[in-house]
Amino acid sequence: MSTATTAALPDHLRQVIETLNGTQDSEERAALLIHWADRYKPVDKSIAQPPYDPTHQVPFCESDAYVWVIRKDDGTLDLHFAVENPSGISAKALAAILKATLSGLPAATVAAVPPDIVLEIFRQNISMGKGMGLMAMVQAVQALARAAAAQD
């Protein structure tokens, strides 16, 4: 992702990525991502309860993740995630980052976030399979945001 592409991201997401990219020490970077994973909160029971509807399941995700996007009356979105694998640290970190940085934004803004932010967030610290699953999480958010934007 180029600097120009990063600059086009929503402010809070761009700031998170810049903070991660400004961290040169790999242990410190890992600690930041673990901190984000610790901030993960599963989807509220008022939104969904296990067993989750498979239509919300993220394809290719090794951590058995699910995504919900709730459109509010003002056209902004609330993002919700479930990560069923207790060891799914990367999926939990990404879910927490997406929820914190994209909830409250207009649907069109959320739909424009590219899946390659995963490469900026995790760099080469993930396997190809895990990377595909994490990108699929962003693509699931995009698809749900596009559907919500179509309601506008």
Question: Domain with 118 in it: what CATH number?
Answer: 3.90.1010.10
How confident is the model at residue 151, as a pLDDT? 85
Residue 32 lies in a domain: yes
Strand partners for 78: 70
Residue 48 lies in a domain: no
How confident is the model at residue 125, as a pLDDT? 76
Residue 47 lies in a domain: no
How confident is the model at residue 4, as a pLDDT? 47
For residue 102, the one-letter residue type is L
Residue 112 lies in a domain: yes
Strand partners for 80: 68
Q: Could you say which DSSP state residue 43 is in?
A: P
Q: Where in the sequence is the domain holding 80, given as residue range(s)? A: 3-41+53-149
Q: Could you say which DSSP state residue 52 is in?
A: P
Reported pTM: 0.95
How confident is the model at residue 24, as a pLDDT? 87
Which residues of the chain have a pLDDT value below 70?
1-5
Residue 76 lies in a domain: yes
Question: Structurally, how many domains does the chain consist of?
Answer: 1
Q: Are 105 and 77 in contact (CB under 8 A)?
A: yes
Task: Reduce the DSSP state of residue 74 to 3 states and report it.
Answer: coil
Residue 17 lies in a domain: yes
